[in-house]
Amino acid sequence: MDFFIITSLTKDISRIDLIGILIGHLIFGIALTQILDWTWLKNLMTEEDKTRMLKSYTWKDLLVDAAIVTVFLGIIFLIISIFL
């Protein structure tokens, strides 16, 4: 039943609306990043801990990170394809 709600919603939303929504979210994300104070992040780890962590980073960690990004982008493209 939910599928029919999604398909009827896609008839009401045009491509320009979808592009506007995506650009609006992008602008909001950039603005929020600039507004919030992120200086506390550099105090989470000492330089020695950062160096040790980066030296222990392997290709398997890189593969896992790439898989997470791929899944995230796949979900975004799936949502976009529903509306287009």
Q: Where are the alpha helices (DSSP H) in 1-84?
A: 2-12, 15-35, 47-55, 59-83
Residues 33-74 pLDDT 10s: 888 887 877 788 888 888 888 888 888 988 999 999 999 999
pLDDT at 16: 79
What is each CA distance from 24 to 13, 28, 41, 46, in whole angstroms?
A: 15, 6, 27, 37
**pTM of the predicted protein model:** 0.44
With b for 16 or more beta-carbon neighbours within 10 A and e for fewer, the 44-68 pattern comes to eeeeeeeeeeeeeeeeeeeeeeeee
Q: What amino acid is encoded at 82 in this protein?
A: I
Mean of pLDDT over the chain: 81
pLDDT at 12: 67
